Amino acid sequence: MPFPNVRLANRPLHFLYLCDCSGSMAAQGKMQALNQAIRQSLPGMAEVARQNPEARLLVRAVRFADQARWHIAEPTPVEQLSWIDLEAGGVTAMGEALELVAAALQTPPMEERALPPVLVLISDGQPTDDFDRGLRTLIRQPWAQKAVRLAIALGHDADLEVLQQFIGQDPGGSGRSARRPLQAGNATSLAQYIQWASTAVVNAASMPASRMVPSAEAAAPGPIPLPDLPPTVLDPTDDVGPLVW
Q: Per residue in 125-169, pLDDT tens?
A: 999 999 999 999 999 999 999 999 999 999 999 999 999 999 997
CATH number assigned to the domain covering 23-211? 3.40.50.410
State percent of the chain over pLDDT 70.
Answer: 81
Phi, psi of 69 (to 5 degrees): -150, 165
> Once rounded to an integer, what is the mean pLDDT over residues 57-63?
98
CA distance 208 to 213: 8
The domain limits of the chain are 23-211
CA distance 42 to 132: 32
Sorting pLDDT into bands at 50, 70 and 90, what band is 224? confident
pTM, full prediction: 0.87
pLDDT in tens, 80-114: 999 999 999 999 999 999 999 999 999 999 999 99
* Strand duo 55-64 + 68-77: pairing: antiparallel
Sorting pLDDT into bands at 50, 70 and 90, what band is 176? very low
DSSP structure class, residue 27: G
Give the pLDDT of residue 244.
Answer: 76
